């Protein structure tokens, strides 16, 4: 028998519901590994970083944390942020520290409509909807460039600059990534989103790169849409979407809109990829720490579990990824729904239903 492939995974549940959903995702991943007949296994190391760690140590993660994480095959992340730490400190101290230093420049966020989950979109009842937001994840509006000054002039006179960075290389790599992804999909189309009428430097550069790269993909249809018009399109004509590529901030906002349209923020998955594989990639649900429901065992684990499926895909375990997605559909289709999507099942029950459904999808492959 061939040797078991062991994937070393760093788990960082961090704060709030992050802890609950990471535990659920680990259970699903361990189940799928157990069912692989020795083909692969996961070797987990959990790190206690986050806002509680900050309260004890004054930093969001170990100062050597990046050095430690470098040697893992991937990172499975929960959510970061709590009331004891300003949001920009917790975000930059942990999540953005990892995405930026590991050059995880491609963030993919599929928008999936699940059976049994009611969408606020009436169209979702009888229209096939399925699209992916590809978010530039390393520069743009979240480049972290700028500063504050002039507070010495007295109250009310401080100034702040928050500069967006658009490099030709940064635009090209994410746009090419979107086209390569579109090639693999049934609907071969890329929609590029900017606000280049108002932001005439960075986003016009983006548009030019988009038009140039598109020439290399004649089989992929294209459109360029302003972000305000794209927000309307998400609601009015989402059936026209396949791959939507946008800058860091615009894609962040649009993907929250997409997950709300699919039924809940708790359903949405995401992968922060370093496509060259020089560093580990990071998989996490789109949602935050949900302080309003944290610690009650009632949060939706599906966003985190669907992110685990993206991790399986990243490891080349396509069939296993499809099985996890199918198990999620079996669970929601048979009425295992948390409160955010209109049910009354708790996190444990939904996770259990997905784990149980994995056995039936095992029979199907
Ligand atoms: P953060 O600052 O960490 O992003 P937030 O409250 O601004 O926190 P979210 O944590 O994403 O943003 O929560 C937004 C809303 O979505 C909340 O009402 C929360 O309860 C809900 N929500 C988020 N994640 C889940 C989940 N996994 N299951 C159920 N509801 C969720």
**Secondary structure string (H, E, C) spanning 172-226:** HHHHHHHHHHHHCCCCCEEEEEECCCCCCCHHHHHHHHHHHHHCCCCCCEEEEEE
Provide the token pair at 151: 């507070």
- In ligand 1, the atom with minimum distance to the C-alpha of 293 is 20
- Mean pLDDT per segment of 10 residues, for the chain of length 365 residues? 90 98 98 96 98 97 97 98 94 94 97 95 92 97 94 95 97 98 97 95 97 98 98 97 98 95 96 98 97 97 98 97 97 97 97 94 60
Structural domains of the chain ordered from first start? 1-108+272-365 (3.40.718.10), 119-262 (3.40.718.10)
The 10 Å Cβ neighbour count of residue 116 is 17
pLDDT of residue 359: 86
CB 105 within 8 A of CB 274: yes
The response to whether residue 288 sits with its C-beta less than 6 Å from ligand 1 reads yes
The response to whether residue 307 sits with its C-beta less than 6 Å from ligand 1 reads no
**Cα separation of 182 and 280, whole Å?**
24
Q: How far is the CA of 198 from the centre of ligand 1 (A)?
A: 31
**Cα separation of 188 and 154, whole Å?**
56
- In ligand 1, the atom with minimum distance to the C-alpha of 303 is 27
Ligand 1 pocket: which of 83, 263, 290, 351 to mutate (most atoms <8 Å of CB)? 290
- Report pTM: 0.94
Nearest CA to ligand 1 atom 9: 288
The response to whether residue 14 sits with its C-beta less than 6 Å from ligand 1 reads no
pLDDT of residue 361: 67
**Cα separation of 172 and 327, whole Å?**
36
Q: How far is the CA of 297 from the centre of ligand 1 (A)?
A: 14
Ligand 1 pocket: which of 85, 252, 265, 305 to mutate (most atoms <8 Å of CB)? 265
Nearest CA to ligand 1 atom 13: 290
The response to whether residue 289 sits with its C-beta less than 6 Å from ligand 1 reads yes
Enclosing H/E stretch for 243 = strand 243-246
The response to whether residue 270 sits with its C-beta less than 6 Å from ligand 1 reads no
Q: Tell me the per-residue pLDDT of 153-188, one tens digit each, with 9 for 90 and over.
A: 999 999 999 999 999 999 999 999 999 999 999 999
The response to whether residue 299 sits with its C-beta less than 6 Å from ligand 1 reads yes
Enclosing H/E stretch for 99 = helix 96-101
The response to whether residue 293 sits with its C-beta less than 6 Å from ligand 1 reads yes
The response to whether residue 79 sits with its C-beta less than 6 Å from ligand 1 reads yes
Ligand 1 pocket: which of 288, 347, 350 to mutate (most atoms <8 Å of CB)? 288
Nearest CA to ligand 1 atom 26: 266
CB 73 within 8 A of CB 223: no
- In ligand 1, the atom with minimum distance to the C-alpha of 292 is 20
Nearest CA to ligand 1 atom 31: 266
Q: Average per-residue pLDDT in the chain?
A: 96
pLDDT of residue 1: 58
């Amino acid at each position: 028998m061939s040797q078991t492939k062991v994937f070393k995974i760093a788990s960082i549940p961090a704060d709030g519901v992050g802890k609950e959903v990471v535990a659920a995702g680990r259970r699903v991943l361990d189940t799928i590994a157990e069912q692989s007949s020795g083909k692969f296994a996961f070797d987990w190391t959990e790190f206690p970083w986050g806002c509680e760690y900050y309260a004890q140590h004054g930093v969001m993660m170990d100062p050597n944390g990046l050095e430690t994480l470098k040697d893992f095959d991937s990172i499975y992340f929960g959510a970061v942020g709590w009331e004891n730490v300003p949001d920009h400190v917790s975000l930059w101290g942990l999540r953005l520290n990892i995405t930026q230093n590991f050059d995880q420049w491609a963030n993919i966020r599929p928008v999936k409509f699940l059976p049994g989950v009611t969408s606020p979109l009436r169209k979702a009842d009888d229209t096939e909807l399925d699209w992916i937001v590809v978010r530039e994840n390393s520069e743009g509006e979240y480049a972290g460039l700028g500063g504050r000054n002039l507070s010495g002039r007295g109250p009310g006179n401080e100034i702040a600059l928050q500069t967006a960075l658009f490099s030709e290389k940064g635009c090209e790599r994410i746009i090419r990534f979107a086209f390569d992804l579109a090639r693999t999909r049934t609907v071969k189309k890329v929609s590029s989103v900017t606000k280049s009428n108002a932001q005439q430097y960075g986003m016009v550069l983006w548009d030019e790169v988009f038009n140039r790269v598109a020439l290399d993909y004649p089989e992929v249809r294209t459109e360029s849409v302003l972000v305000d018009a794209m927000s309307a399109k998400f609601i009015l004509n989402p059936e026209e979407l396949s791959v939507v590529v946008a800058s860091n901030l615009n894609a962040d906002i649009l993907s929250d809109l997409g997950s709300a349209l699919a039924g809940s923020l708790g359903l949405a998955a995401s992968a922060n990829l370093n496509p060259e594989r020089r560093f580990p990639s990071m998989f996490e649900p789109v949602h935050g720490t949900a302080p309003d429901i944290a610690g009650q065992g009632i949060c939706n684990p599906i966003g985190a579990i669907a992110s685990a499926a993206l991790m399986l895909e990243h490891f080349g375990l396509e069939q296993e990824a499809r099985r996890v997605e199918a198990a999620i559909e079996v669970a929601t289709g048979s009425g295992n729904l948390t409160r955010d999507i209109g049910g009354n099942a708790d996190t444990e029950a939904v996770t259990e239903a997905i784990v149980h459904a994995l056995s039936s999808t095992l029979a199907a492959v």
